[in-house]
Structure 1
Amino acid sequence: MNKQLSKKQRINYFLINLISFASIFLILGLIVFRLVQTSIYQTVDHDLKRLSQDQKFLSHQLLQVERTQGDPSQLGKFDTPPPNNFQQQVILWSKEGDILNEAELGSRFYDFQKLTLSTDDLNKITSVQIKDSNNRSLQFRSITLSATNSEKVAYVQLLVNIDPIKGTVEQFKQILIICMIIFGLLSIALSYFLSKWFMKPILISWKKQQEFVENASHELRTPLTIIQAKLEKLFTKPNHTIIEESETIALSLDEVQRLSQLTSDLLLLARSDSNSLTLEKEPVKINVFLKTVLIPYQELATAEAKEFIIDLGEEQQLLFDKKRIHQLLIILLDNALKYTAPGEKITVFSTVKNNEWLLKISDTGIGIAEEKKSAVFERFYRGEESRNRKTGGYGIGLAIAKWIVDEHQGKIDLLDTDPKGTTVRLRFPVK
């Protein structure tokens, strides 16, 4: 992936993350603000509703006005004084829109001089804003009711001053905005970090893909070059018989077989990367299965003057993909035979214990250096280039083996064999 494309992709990730975080914080902030605002005003609205349904309180207000309309000296002589305070006000209106309880309002009457009667939202709580005598803005929550039991009073308006509440809401709003700005800056930093973090696996995957293509091209080129050279050689000797060129033809066929095997392995790795391969598990008797795979290799080892020991535990029936485990064993046994000299020993050990199938393939061959053990499962890795060329390896067998083990939720380890050689230890969970 070139730098320009990588930078463009990273900017896209950054913008996507930034927009996502900003949207989440904005929506969350609006929700919190609306909830706080609603919960604060709910108490005021509840008090207004309660007063609007308190018939005793309303009747007292109407009665007091009727008794003091013609005789102001009667004000204050009633048993229950009006519960008005600066926060809570009661205004009684005539049909013409005049305030009738001017005496009860006292000096506060001047604050309500500019207030006009509105009958559009009767029995509904609304917000009212007025200017007092000092031209200050006052905020109220209000409800207007029809006065049916009074000849003089047509409407009763209950008001609750919400200036302190509004101040609290505004203060909370400022704090929320500051928090949103801080979280906005944090979201920018987090988006930048996440854009780098998201790009890491993409760059690693791209690098692996590039290495895979380069290595595959290199490995395919070798047998193709050999085949091409052999076929061109045949054209230089058109009069030769098949028997005379049998060696050339045999070498070409051998390279074709290797090429076919290589392409199959490459296809398997590519399909494993795309998760398009699935295991076909079935119940299998492991000792019968292992003998089927191991006996031909035992005969081959004997023919090469190598000792091949098979040590199997009690017969057990396990669930696994027979085809893939067979492929796994062939890869490991091929490696054991390739790197074991005549007169040396190969041992295959199998047992089931502690809910685990333990399988070991040990040899007394050349072994693997400690610093190379972690790299042998990488694709196209070769510990020694010349030896792998000679034995026909491409460095992808153990990568396929690890994939098969991982798909069975197992573990594969490389251990040293005493006094020399390598032991491949496989552990599969028994379910």
Structure 2
Amino acid sequence: MPRMLRASRPDRAARALLRLVNLAQRAASADGMSLRRQREVWRIVALAMGRRPPVLHVIERTIDGPGGPIAMRIFVPTRAQSPRPAFLWCHGGGFIVGGLDTGDSICRHVALAADCITIAVRYRLAPEHDLRACREDFLAALEWVAGNGAEFGIDTTRLAIGGDSAGGNISAAVAQEALRRGGPALRLQVLAYPATDLVKEFPSLVENAHGYFLTLDTIEQIKRQLGNRIEVGDDPWLSPSHSRDLRGLPPALIVSAGFDPIRDDGLDYGERLRAAGVPVELLHYAGQFHGFLNFDAVIDASRDALQRIGDALAAAFRDDGAVDRTVEIADVPAAQPSALTGTVGEMLSTTRFTWIALERYADTFLGLLAPRTTRATRHMLRPLFAPARLVRHSVARRIDRLAAQQTHPRP
């Protein structure tokens, strides 16, 4: 387990984001929002708060699935002379929201960092569909890539899967099922703050119940929307941690966050994997919250995590050997500031975050409404915004500093 499960307070950039998120959540409860509206809100948030770096090609493809068409978005990072490995990404969203757009930024970053082809998969959502449908779709996508990936320049002997939150649950279940079926063979499973047990309630659920993006109220609301979809949540196909035998599974990279209500779920699954002889690289961000990977435009820990995920995938695809370790990453401890210095620092951080957020939301909305006009305008205005961005980056370098320390095994 990490030496520090939860920092004394969230990292600086996370604090700035959470201040505004908490204000917004108090102003508009999700309970009064239709499911369709919830899905659209999360889509806009993910598009605005993710940096979405350019890649060589983005290919939209639809395949036949067990319950109808499965949409996939294939990210090709750069030109290559030989087939490259592939990483399939399963988005989060409590099984009820999310889609190709909400995983877009994550997939772009990982494709570039790992120099692999990354594939976002859209699965059937609850409550319209049973919880088994999402994992059936993701497994079908994996099997399709293993059988047909060569047409996209994929080396189908080097595959990995991963997902965040509900997507981590699905990825863990599919990794188990792929092993049981005898393939496709996986080099790595990436599980970001996964929900691997849909039955048990862990201590972190009480510790981080309110104020940290994913709240107990939100979890209860998701359960109400799922209704009877999780009545058999102790089935390993739904709750992978309930599997009696985890031996032989592919090595895992687990990302956890200190201020996450389901933090202990992912940590528990990591310990179960290690006990079964499965190597686990645990990246623990003690000052972060559930869902932070989607906010790489404003949170440096997100960029750090995406780079580390890419590095781990690249190593796995090279056959460098599985890594079993715990690395803890958080803000650099600072000297105790005076009350005035601390207040000024918090104001700078919040102002910077608000500045970036407003700019990105405006750009995102304009891009959705008038994509051609927005691209042209963005190109013309880029020189005008350059001085302001230089100031912003200068401030960021002063206030955003992460420290990483390996705590298991002892270096």
**Range into which the TM-score falls when normalised by the shorter chain:** under 0.3
Q: Normalising by the residue count of structure 2, what TM-score does the alignment of the two structures yield? A: 0.21
Q: Normalising by the residue count of structure 1, what TM-score does the alignment of the two structures yield? A: 0.20
Larger Rg: 1
Higher relative contact order, structure no. (Cα contacts within 8 Å, ≥ 6 residues apart):
2
